[in-house]
Amino acid sequence: MLELERKPDFEKTLARFEAWWDRQIIDRPPVDGLHVGRDHPPRHPVPEKKHATLREGWFDFEYAIEQLEANLDGAVFVGDSFPRFWPNLGPELCATVFGADLEFQPETTYSRPIVKSCRDILELKPNLDNPYWNAIRRATDLSLERGRGKWITGLTDLHTNGDLVAALRNPQDMCLDMATDLEGVRAACDYVTRSAFALMYEDLWTRISACGQPATTWCPVLHAGRMYVTSCDAICLFSTPMFKEAVLPSIVWEMRYLDRNLFHLDGPGAIRHLDALLDLPELDAVQWVRGAGHGRAADWIDVYKRIQARGKGIQLMASDIADAKAVAEHLRPEGVWFSVGGSYCREEAEAFLKWTERWAAGKA
């Protein structure tokens, strides 16, 4: 029994997600994201801390955890939202396992490309004993220790397959390689995924599962076993034939390795590949991220219907409650997870949760 101080019904939330993976419903679909005001302000807020460099700030996971501990005081988790800590050094962390360094910015980090062709990647050896990965190990261990009974610790950002190749090579140069040496790009994608994905995943999952926690990530999804949000943001740069030939096989390898997977389809430039992904029996669910400036979820109802028609689960990222309801009118409840934006009073949030129960029962 996993109990969290600020989320006493966490086991029910985990059960709803387990049902969601199977396109089933216990009482209602999972619902997260509903922001509700705090019970009271943090009684012991952490003072602002100045770091000498951006790198120092990114590596200061002790301070990040102190901030979380303070912010949990008075925090309210409505529906299936839950407290979690996510150790993070940016989306190109995996490139450091193959020898790259990171450039630090206030909001993100970038890797410095280290190869002159995709085939050069085949000569690199993955090594977890580096300052970046060791920092993630320490952050994971610290979070598990300090967060026992308080929050869930997430698996760090694992951008492998084509994204890792792009990080080591440079996205523009990878596109040139796609045009001149498609076989070399596929070899590189296969190599980095098969040599490092399980190595990295197990290094962290062993720690998390040993503490009796389920898997979660930067995305607040849950599963009791091996689960991850698979992705390749670079696919917006490729044609579908090139994507299917060079990158998709390594994504399929990851999906087969995992017990459950949710594919992060990022932006209108990636939507051309949706059918290729939906064709995969290994795919469990899709997170469609339309991106800033591309309307509301209700403007993409056809995308959600396509996903559901192929028997896949959906993370429905709605702008607000009205947006979520507008899309739900066109979908079956089974396999829908609502992630709803906006701030609400407790009564409004609870009313929406009751509405999802009625919708799931066909009575909305």
How many other C-beta atoms can be found within 10 angstroms of the C-beta atom of residue 361?
Answer: 12
Residue 292 confidence (pLDDT) above 90: no
Is 292 within the bounds of a domain?
Answer: yes
Beta bridge partners of 152: 84
pLDDT per position as a tens digit, 168-219: 999 999 999 999 999 999 999 999 999 999 999 999 999 999 999 999 999 9
191 is written with which tokens?
Answer: 């190599």
Mean pLDDT of all residues in 29-42? 95
Q: Tell me whether residue 2 is in a domain.
A: no
In a domain, 1, yes or no: no
Is the dihedral angle over the CA atoms 314, 315, 319, 324 positive or is it negative? positive
Q: pLDDT tens-digit profile of 149-173?
A: 999 999 999 999 999 999 999 999 9
How does pLDDT run across 259-272, given as a tens digit for each residue?
999 999 999 999 99
User: Which amino acid, residue 20?
Assistant: W
Span 240-251, average pLDDT:
98
Phi-psi region of 23 (alpha: psi -120 to 50; beta: other; left: phi over 0): left
- Looking at the domain assignment, is residue 4 inside a domain? no
The answer to whether residue 1 scores a pLDDT higher than 80 is no
d(CA 310, CA 293): 28
CB within 8 Å of 304: residues ≥ 6 apart: 288, 297, 314, 316, 327, 330, 331
pTM beyond cutoff 0.95: yes
The enclosing domain of 276 has a CATH number of 3.20.20.210
Number of domains in the chain: 1
- What Rg value do the Cα atoms of the chain yield, rounded? 21
Residue 5, in any domain of the structure: no
Give me the domain span that covers residue 35: 10-360
Q: How many Cα atoms occupy the beta-carbon half-sphere of 107 within 13 Å?
A: 0
**Would residue 265 count as lying in a domain?**
yes
- 249 neighbors 189 (Cβ within 8 angstroms): yes
Of residues 38, 42, 28, 39, the one with CA closest to residue 80: 28
Residue 351 falls within a domain, yes or no?
A: yes
User: Is residue 123 domain-resident?
Assistant: yes
Q: How far apart are CA 294 and CA 174, in angstroms?
A: 27
